Structure 1
């Protein structure tokens, strides 16, 4: 399976291609408020004798600490359309992971950036080897209906008063094990067209986590509006890889996106 990671041109030139690495990001750096804002809990059950305000602050601070030690790598995947085929060196598509106009606009600065294509199995294998001291979970996002999403969040953020008798570590592990899918692998339906895959890394300290992706990046797709000088920089950096990825140019024909190998694009 291919992974498609949209990014701005400065990131790909100054970081990804220069160091041949991809970095796992903190949740605070994501653009989904469900992920990057503090989680608000409630308490259910018998609260007699319980300092509710104190226990809520306790729970929310514990979960805040947990989220601060979670790092993620996010990518989109291909859809299920069978209308993807290759003809004459040009990849025609309707539902490929690189053919997302809104994602080109939002994550790749209006088509001036790139889309990095990675081999999913090689990426996970490399991440597991590199971060052998951490738990890594790779899952596709569940996009449920708005009503179901609200219900799932409501259940996950409701703590039974009896659970608050547990120590901090036990309470936090209980919440994580029961509801990690809801907190980290479930999203509002408005995001569904991203068809997202998330690689989640959980640790207990704030460490920079980079994965070497030489031999894992299969292709680099240049955005429609990429600057000529930036294109040259990308071409130069790719040549420095031990296993150079294929360079494609994104084009828009007949109402949908296509990619053309840069040697053909330059000649045509």
Structure 2
């Protein structure tokens, strides 16, 4: 039956919701069955700017009369920071639009919602036959190895060399331990940049730098807020997800794609 738009808005119009597109197979066999989301190596990203190694230039620019660093200290710092970059893992979500802009609307345009992005359904939602999992960001169980934040969309000029210089003179000024933490912070900040052509994704990213190949957000059913599925998904997937949603007391919304846009149905 048709899904009441007012009911949809009342449930999904929140500023803290995160939308994750995936295939029905991954959703059923891994995410929902294992009750966890996987944070994968950054090198697995489809974006060649992201999956290539970030090259940082380590140097002692303008050191003047400062005491020169020993080769051991320099090399140790380079190894630690290079390892930090290589360990980077990430998990991406879409967000809703600007909450304040539409706060007083009785019905928000469908383009506001992070679950109706055609390019995301095509690229990550198994060419429109997958699912979009909706999470309450505040209920996701992140641990100390997780760093999260909004993506900053920038032009190619962000790749200017100055963004990727690591000044080893700072070790002399603040000590090696503080220098490492400061440099890690700079490296991590750069990993939240993405080319502005992707700005329509309105991405929120969770990153991890744990030593394992993968990291996980566990007990995700506690934060699961709803599921959207395409009418192009198999009947088996729709019926299986319906049972899961009933057990969790969350809505399952079916999207019917047409030449005039989309229609929503409640499964």
Q: TM-score, normalised by structure 2?
A: 0.75
How many residue pairs were aligned?
Answer: 243
**Which residue pairs with 2:43 in the alignment?**
28
Indicate how the Cα distance of structure 1 residues 202 and 41 shifts in structure 2: closer, same or farther if over 3 A, else same. closer
Superposed structure 1 runs of 4+ greater than 4 Å apart = 46-50, 57-61, 83-87, 163-171, 204-207
- Listed as ranges, the matches of 1:183-202 within 5 Å are 183-202=190-209
Instruction: State whether structure 2 residue 89 is matched by structure 1 residue 100.
Output: no
- Listed as ranges, the matches of 1:59-208 within 5 Å are 62-80=80-98, 82=102, 93-123=110-140, 126-127=141-142, 131=143, 134-147=144-157, 149-151=158-160, 154-160=161-167, 162-163=169-170, 172-181=180-189, 183-206=190-213, 208=215
**Which residue pairs with 1:228 in the alignment?**
235
**Which residue pairs with 2:254 in the alignment?**
249
**Which residue pairs with 1:265 in the alignment?**
none
Root mean square deviation, CA, Å: 3.4
Q: How far 1:217 sits from its partner (Å)?
A: 0.9
Q: Which whole-Å CA distance do the structure 2 matches of 1:227 and 1:156 have between them?
A: 47
Q: Tell me whether 36-45 or 156-165 shows the greater mean CA deviation.
A: 156-165
SS in 2 for 1:199: strand
**Which residue pairs with 1:45 in the alignment?**
61
1:155-181: CA deviation from partner (whole Å, max 9, x where unpaired): 231233535879986654332223432
SS in 1 for 2:134: strand
Contact 2:19 2:94 in 1 (8 A): yes
Indicate how the Cα distance of structure 1 residues 175 and 253 shifts in structure 2: closer, same or farther if over 3 A, else same. same
Q: How far 1:231 sits from its partner (Å)?
A: 1.9
Indicate how the Cα distance of structure 1 residues 33 and 84 shifts in structure 2: closer, same or farther if over 3 A, else same. farther
Q: Which runs of 5+ in 2 are unaligned?
A: 1-15
**Which residue pairs with 1:14 in the alignment?**
29
**Which residue pairs with 2:7 in the alignment?**
none
Indicate how the Cα distance of structure 1 residues 84 and 68 shifts in structure 2: closer, same or farther if over 3 A, else same. farther
Contact 1:62 1:168 in 2 (8 A): no
Q: Which whole-Å CA distance do the structure 1 matches of 2:61 and 2:46 have between them?
A: 34
Contact 2:225 2:250 in 1 (8 A): yes
1:192-231: CA deviation from partner (whole Å, max 9, x where unpaired): 1110011223435556423212231111111242122222
**Which residue pairs with 2:9 in the alignment?**
none
Contact 1:24 1:209 in 2 (8 A): yes
Q: Which runs of 5+ in 1 are unaligned?
A: 263-268
